[in-house]
Structure 1
Amino acid sequence: MRGKVLSYDDYTGSGLISGDDGVRYTFTRGGLMGGAREAFPGSTVDFEIANGTAANIYIIGGAPLNLSGDKNRIVAALLAFVLGGIGIHKFYLGKTTAGVLMLLGGTVGWITFGFVPALVYLIAFIEFIIYLLKTDGDFHRDYVAGNKSWF
């Protein structure tokens, strides 16, 4: 049967598929086949039904990573490198509190004789490197779908 992934939590390894028959089926990471380790919401899948759950799940159409305004890791990395001292990459990722902290540290922080702005630029550079080294899936899980604001 075919269907679409509605949700997937990589930490618990479980998710929900909406089958073409209109029924929702739960699944676990163990049911993913073809070398897949996770399934993104919106992915088209082919699966079998076993005991009311989805099994032998093959991802046949990947979900676009830009679902509902998802963010691109390369854009975030470039923003961190170029404008990271004022936290623009944080605002891009929707992490407003972290963005405001970096903005204040990078601008008003100069009253600390450059210590706070230097720290802010160092954090931005470290995040630039981390964003580049992460896979698209890991970046999406940690910084877009997840609640991770720092490193």
Structure 2
Amino acid sequence: MKKLLFTLALITGLACFSTDASASYTIDDNQVEALFSSASEASFSIMNEALEMAPSMAIASANGGSKDALVAILLDFFLGGLGIHRFYLGTKTMTGIGYILTCGGIFGLVPFIDLIVLAINFDDISAFVDNPKFFMW
């Protein structure tokens, strides 16, 4: 019975996602040219301002001020098994490799604990920024 239901679900899914062979897609060159001609020139003043601010941003990064707890939590939730949240927080490369080699940090247990620790310490995650240990807690 399970095999029959699985087969029916598979066939239904394939039927829903099949492409229509009769649909043809064309590109109107005149519309593309009109879009390019109506486009405005890019200004590099924003880039110059960003380059002027770069030293102050480096100081904030060195102090750990630029690391957002919400970003770390989201990275941990979605990509925790790969240790991406640890790279965001500034860990060593070997820690990320350790996460990958241990099947997501001891089969996903370490990223789960990391998620809980980051959520509890949401206001101040400075203790976890540039932390080289495998267990950041």
- Provide the TM-score with structure 1 as the length reference: 0.42
Larger Rg: 2
Q: Which has the higher helix share?
A: 2
